Amino acid sequence: MKPTLQLLTTACLALTLSACGGGGGATSDTPASSGATAQAPATVSGATVQASSDTTITLNWQAVAGASYYEVWRNNINPQDPAAFQLVSRPNSNSYQDSNLVPGTDYAYRLHACASTGCSKPSELTGKTKAKGVTVATPAVPRATKIETTQISLEWTAVDGASSYKLERNGQLIANGADIRQVTYLDSGLTAASNYSYRLQACNTNTCSDWSTALSVQTLAEVVTPPKPPVAPAVPTAPSVVVNNSSSLTVSWSAVSGANRYVLKRNGVQVGGDKLSALSFPDAGLIPGTAYSYQLQACADSLCSDNSPATTASTRASYKITLSTSGFDNSSGSNLSLVVDGYDDTGWVRGAETISGNGSGTSFIPVLNGEKYGATISAQPASGQSCSASPTGRTSIANSDVTISINCLTPAVLNFAEASKSVVSGVAGTAIQAATAKTLSGSTLNTFAIRYSSSNPAVATVDAVSGNISALNTGTTTITAGLPADLYTATSASYTLTVTPVVAKTRLATMELAQVLAQRPGSKYQTLIPNRDLLVRAYLYARSADAVTPATNVKIGGEQFAMTCPAKLPADDSSNAISYTLNQHCYTTIPGRLIKSGAAMDIVTSDGQSLSANLVVNDANTIRITMVPLIINGQTAQIPTAEVLTSVVKRLMPFANVVVTVHAPWAPAGTFDDSLSGKDQMGQVLSLLDKLRVSEKSSDHYYGMVPWMKWSGTTGIGYVSYLTAIGRDLRSGADATDETMIHEVGHNLSLSHAPCGGPSGPDPYFSTDPLPWPNSDKAQLSEVPLYNQGAGILSSPGVLGSRSPDLMSYCGGKLWFSEYSFNKMSGHIRGKADYKAVAGNQVAANQIAANPAAAQNMMMISGDLNGGTFNPSPVQFLGSGYTANTEGGEYQLKIVSSDGKTTLRRFTPLQLDHAGSMHVSVVLPSIAGIVSIDVLKQGQLLPKAGVLNAAAAQPKAATGLKLSADAAPVTAQALTTNLTASSLRIRWNHLQQPWLSVIHIAANGKRTALALSVTDGDQRLSLQQLPAGGSLQISLSDGLNSSVITLKR
């Protein structure tokens, strides 16, 4: 039977919502109009079935503007029959739940939006109730199958029709609320001795049962086991000892059950601390050839066993190598270089020794018992002697110290150029002729060991060292020259000296030779500069008022040069006092081409007088200086011109040639104060400048000028006997060149400070007792005249007591080097190829030529030693063609690589010109996979400040880095380059490999460093000043290891 419902004026049809106005009922399935002229609300939109169950359908729709209520019509018989729709509700909201429906049945709905003006047209939708679910029975009470202190194992009987279960503990779902598919569950993480209540619910896909009756259960209480009284471990067996070398033993032992630490005793005293956990201990720093006894205790916490039986072992014996030298002539300041072979804890070692005198001394090279030792002469003395070492080759040692004998006794021939000479009576302190010493092969010996004697001192005396004659009375005498028998095997030589009466009205008393200092022949400190013009002065006096100046000439090398003499000679007062006025006596200049080793000179006058001298001439005369204008905080140093610098160097130093190269302005990597006024910033930049020199493979002196923006306590700094120095620029005045720079380059040429103004470490020679000259201990110059050859000016060093100080002092008014300092610089350059004059193109070739012995890639390890602590700098890759530093000295680099190999290399630190830190700079063959670098002194490891980033040993995950606004992201170890004709841009991962170095290698091999150890991750380098072509060597370093690429231009 179809029920009939009274309908309102507007009906809501299938799946449609219509807004309806008020009004009476009607039986029509289409809502009737109320007759109102006003417009009904809009049709309902957005109607959906929001939810359903087996007996409900929930409808939801969008609210309609102007609707005051809605009508919901339902049809579950025939959706196509309007009469089948029945009004079921008039809700005021925009949702409705239709209930009490038939499970699994389709329904059609019409929805109307209504107001007083009527209802809208219907909005239709359909829905369906869910099928009646299969009910699930309530589970039985779950059971506890195992109860522990912190967990309970549960199980239950399966329920028919259930596909999963839910479990509550104390009213809260457990198992993260997930469905449990099995009939067991382990509930863990509980508290001991605590009560828990469990309920179970069985579920299928449609429904869940009621909760089961609760199971109450209590976890077990903790069982407290009383601690067992501690027991000390068993006594260990005797340890084993392996002899490593002369200073270390390795002690090892077997594990003892129950022990968590060990205590090792050496000779009854604990070593290595009381918490040794390893089963071995390397015992280092021991005394060579000494027996040591070891015992062990095994410990468990605070309880230790008794001592184990003792094991005794001895370190290897290490013996001294004594160098015993005889026959060595050091009168000219020459040295003998020796390479000594020995054996130490690292294995076979070789070191360079320098012999400077006769006698015995202990080499720093040791030799272990049973190993071999030996020595080879690496450089014969500059004196020309020939030395030999014995035993030859390498000899085994057996339980004793050993001696290497160095014998320099040299066969020689002495000779005077002329068999007879004459001199007028009254001549005093004048070199008539000097003996020449030569080897049997004819090579000249550079020696001051010749000693002279006169057979008739009443006629003439002779200075035993210089050979200078003082003619006292007329007559003849024999002047004999000999060499010490313990230095040379040579017969004596002699000439006959005739002293004639004074006939001339003048007296030719003595001569002076001047290039930088005016010294008399045979002076202790005189060494002339080869191939440099020489001023010759003749001290000619008038013995009577009517004396006429005779014609006076200098004869040398087969040529004759007239001397300029005053028209009126100074009166003879027999004092031979030094004259500081050039034209007061006769003078002339001899061209440099005649000034060479072995040259002999005579001064002759037309009135029958003569003087002779054998010239003492060096074999080196050239210095090459690369001036580097430093850039500090955007300020570029102002440097002197090459002409000015050449003039200053030649005025003050022992050089005939000065080759000046101006380097492109260079900014050292780092952060610095103006004028490098921060602590040790001068030293830091000095080290960086030397790295620049080494990187550019130059043997030049490198001098860096610092832009002097403000006063700083240190105006310059340099290495002693090494090639690099820095100092203030011309902003501080012209003395930045002729004082600061010359002072620092003096250090490079072996000079220490002179003792005035409180410098550190003054040269003790100045204060020798007796003093070398008056007031030398105050660093004042001697009485020797100063000669400015470029200006042709002879001048005085000042009056006694207030003479100018040596340039190597800290006192004001510095003008010149003392005789001693000048001669010491001359000795430093003697015999060194880098200071000898060669053709300009050959100089360049020497600097850039690859050393066949150094064809392998090289690296540079650097840093500083301050207070006995090693502070390493990043290792720098150099490439091929460099020469490794000669090994030697008491310091060693210890380099450990990833293959487990340890490389030890001896070196001598660079000494600064002031007390304090020393710098490390060692060029050596490249080593792959470096893990650590340390420094040892006399075999003992020095503390190290800081650790370099070993990224290669500890790989990092690739990380995206944004280097700059216009840089693409770069991943770990990535490198991008942009090379044009005029520039190079490099971007890299500076977190993985912080340090970048770039070196341009020209087509002829010349190297120019464009960047050294820069760290910002993005560099733009100008190539405009470089020659075309060549290549760019780019290296990235993590501090210990480098990766390298080469770009062709």
CB-based contacts of 995, cutoff 8 Å, min separation 6:
874, 1013, 1014, 1015, 1036, 1037, 1038, 1039
Q: Helix, strand or coil for residue 809?
A: coil
Pair 293, 323: CB distance under 8 Å:
no
Specify the CATH number of the domain 622-834.
3.40.390.10
* Angstrom distance (rounded) from CA 229 to CA 234: 15
What would the pLDDT profile of 60-98 be if each residue is shown by its tens digit? 999 999 999 999 999 876 667 777 889 999 999 999 999
DSSP states of 684-708: HHHHHHHHHHHHTT--SEEEEEEP-
With a cut of 70, say whether residue 36 has pLDDT above it.
no
Q: Which of 344-358, 455-469, 570-584, 951-965 has the lowest mean pLDDT?
A: 951-965
Question: Do 68 and 46 contact (CB within 8 A), yes or no?
Answer: no
Extents of the domains making up the chain: 18-128, 143-218, 240-314, 318-408, 411-614, 622-834, 850-941, 975-1048
Kindly report the average pLDDT of the chain as a whole number: 87
Between 951 and 993, the higher pLDDT residue: 993
pLDDT at 7: 30
Fold match between 622-834 and 975-1048?
no
Range 779-782, long-range pairs (CB < 8 A, 24+ positions): 779/754, 779/755, 779/805, 779/806, 779/808, 779/809, 779/811, 779/818, 780/756, 780/804, 780/805, 780/806, 781/805, 781/806, 781/816, 781/818, 781/819, 782/818, 782/819
Give the residues across from 877 on adjacent strands. 859
Q: Terminal CA-to-CA distance of the chain, rounded, Å? A: 103
What are residue 383's phi and psi, to 5 degrees? -65, -20
Q: How far apart are CA 304 and CA 404, in angstroms?
A: 53
CATH class given for the domain over 975-1048: mainly beta
d(CA 296, CA 310): 8
In contact, 355 and 328? CB cutoff 8 Å: yes
pLDDT at 14: 35
Segment 755-774 mean pLDDT: 90
Q: What local confidence, expressed as pLDDT, does residue 15 receive?
A: 36
Tens digits of per-residue pLDDT, 235-285? 999 999 999 888 889 999 999 999 999 999 999 999 988 889 999 999 988
Contacts of 751 by beta carbon, 8 Å cutoff, 6+ apart: 720, 763, 808, 821, 824, 825
pLDDT recorded at residue 486: 95
H or E stretch at 119: strand 118-119
User: pLDDT tier at 838 (50, 70, 90 boundaries)?
Assistant: low
d(CA 996, CA 998): 7
Q: Are 814 and 807 in contact (CB under 8 A)?
A: yes
Which residues pair with residue 997 across a beta bridge?
A: 1035
pLDDT attached to residue 949 = 58
CA distance 172 to 265: 63
pLDDT band at 51 (very low <50, low <70, confident <90, very high): low
DSSP per residue, 455-487: S-TTTEEE-TTT-EEEE-SSEEEEEEEE--TTT
State if pTM tops 0.85.
no
Classify domain 18-128 by CATH architecture.
Sandwich (2.60)
- Sorting pLDDT into bands at 50, 70 and 90, what band is 465? confident
Span 1010-1033, average pLDDT: 91
pLDDT tens digits, one per residue of 183-194: 999 999 899 999
pLDDT of residue 25: 33
pLDDT, average across residues 519-537: 93
For 779-800, what is each residue's pLDDT tens digit?
999 999 999 999 999 999 999 9
**pLDDT of 943-983, one tens digit each?**
998 766 544 333 333 222 333 333 333 333 468 899 998 99
CATH entry, 240-314, from 3.40.50.280, 2.60.40.10, 3.30.200.20, 1.20.120.330: 2.60.40.10
Note the pLDDT of residue 531: 96
56-60, 79-83, 153-157 — which is least confidently predicted? 79-83
Residue 562 has pLDDT above 90, yes or no: yes
E strand intervals along 898-938: 902-907, 910-911, 918-925, 930-937
Using 50, 70 and 90 to split pLDDT, how confident is the model at 291? very high
Q: For tokens 């000296």, what's the residue? A: 497
> What is d(CA 795, CA 788) in angstroms, rounded to the nearest whole number?
8
What mean pLDDT is predicted for residues 352-357? 85
> Given this model, what pLDDT does residue 30 score?
41
Locus of tokens 């209540």: 197
* Cβ atoms 383, 408 nearer than 8 A: no
Tell me how crowded residue 501 is: count the other CB atoms within 10 A of its CB. 9
The residue-averaged pLDDT of 1025-1044 equals 90
Partner residues linked to 795 by β-bridges = 786
The CATH number of the domain covering residues in 318-408: 2.60.40
Number of H helices, E strands in the chain: 6, 77
Q: Helix (H, G, I), strand (E, B), or coil: what is residue 334?
A: coil
Neighbours of 978 (CB within 10 A): 10
| pLDDT at position 902 | 80
Q: What is the CATH number of domain 143-218?
A: 2.60.40.10
Between CA 74 and CA 16 the distance in angstroms is 10
Domain 411-614 listed as CATH 1.20.120.1200: no
Q: How confident is the model at residue 917 (pLDDT cuts 50, 70, 90)?
A: confident
> What pLDDT score was predicted for residue 1016?
85
Q: What is the structure's pLDDT at 789? A: 96
Of 71-85, 334-348, 854-868, 948-962, which range is least confident?
Answer: 948-962
pLDDT at site 346: 72
The predicted-structure confidence for 94-115, as pLDDT tens digits, reads as follows 999 999 998 888 899 999 999 9
CA 265 – CA 305 distance, rounded (Å): 13
Model confidence pLDDT, tens digit, residues 389-426: 999 888 998 889 999 999 999 999 999 988 998 888 87
3-state secondary structure of 644: helix
